[in-house]
């Protein structure tokens, strides 16, 4: 019996679903924002929030659990160094889902192939995660270049 077993199956086997959600969360970590279907966004949100909770712990055990779930060490490194410190003050609710829609009828915001509702999954504190633009270092002032007209 499946009493209290609430899992979005997404039409996939368990291994395929776990791999897909891990890849989706890794893309969210790397790019800070992902556009996907609404059902996948809702399923990936819980995985992403659990990974941020592990990142906030910051222990070696938490890092190993995150690598075991996500299978990408570079994404886990970004999670522990960039994302988790910005979410330190927050007690859950690290992500938001924004439904994509439009004004052109009932098919607005839907994917053309299967008419699936699309959504954006992003971090709540997106502005604080993006690095501040660094000022470009001025080029060393070179001596003025003489042209042929000036040298005569």
- Secondary structure in 3-state letters for 84-138: HHHCCCCCCCCEEEEECCCCCCCCCCECCCCCCEEEEEEECCHHHHCCCCCCCCC
pLDDT in tens, the chain (152 residues): 889 888 899 999 999 999 999 999 999 999 999 999 999 999 999 999 999 999 999 999 999 999 999 999 999 999 999 999 999 999 999 999 999 987 677 777 888 889 899 999 999 987 777 665 566 555 555 556 666 666 65
The predicted pLDDT at position 24 comes to 98
**End-to-end C-alpha distance for the chain, whole angstroms:** 95
Q: What is the model's pLDDT at position 149?
A: 67
Q: Domains of the chain by range and CATH?
A: 14-127 (3.90.1030.10)
What pLDDT does residue 109 have? 80
The predicted pLDDT at position 96 comes to 97
| Sequence-distant (≥ 6) Cβ neighbours of residue 70 within 8 angstroms | 22, 25, 26, 51, 76
Interatomic CA distance for residues 68 and 100, integer angstroms: 32
Rounded Cα distance between 111 and 94, Å, is 26
Pair of tokens at residue 117: 């509702």
Calculate the dihedral angle through the C-alpha atoms of 138, 143, 147, 150, rounding to the nearest 10 degrees.
130
How far is 38 from 117, CA to CA, in rounded Å?
Answer: 6
Is 83 exposed, middle or buried, given 0-12, 13-18 or 19+ CB atoms closer than 10 A? buried
């Amino acid at each position: 019996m499946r009493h209290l077993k609430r899992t979005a199956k997404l039409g996939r086997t368990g291994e395929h679903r776990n791999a897909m959600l891990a890849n989706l969360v890794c893309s969210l970590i790397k790019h800070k924002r992902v556009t996907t279907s609404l059902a996948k966004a809702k399923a990936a949100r819980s995985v992403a929030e659990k990974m941020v909770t592990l990142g906030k712990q910051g222990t070696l055990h938490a890092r190993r659990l995150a690598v075991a779930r996500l299978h990408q060490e570079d994404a886990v490194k970004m999670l522990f160094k960039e994302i988790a410190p910005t979410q330190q003050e927050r007690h859950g609710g690290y992500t938001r889902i924004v439904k994509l829609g439009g004004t052109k009828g009932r098919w607005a915001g839907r994917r053309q192939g299967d008419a699936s509702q699309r959504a954006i999954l992003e971090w709540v504190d997106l502005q604080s995660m993006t690095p501040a633009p660094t000022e470009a270092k001025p080029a060393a002032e070179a001596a003025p270049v003489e042209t042929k007209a000036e040298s005569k």
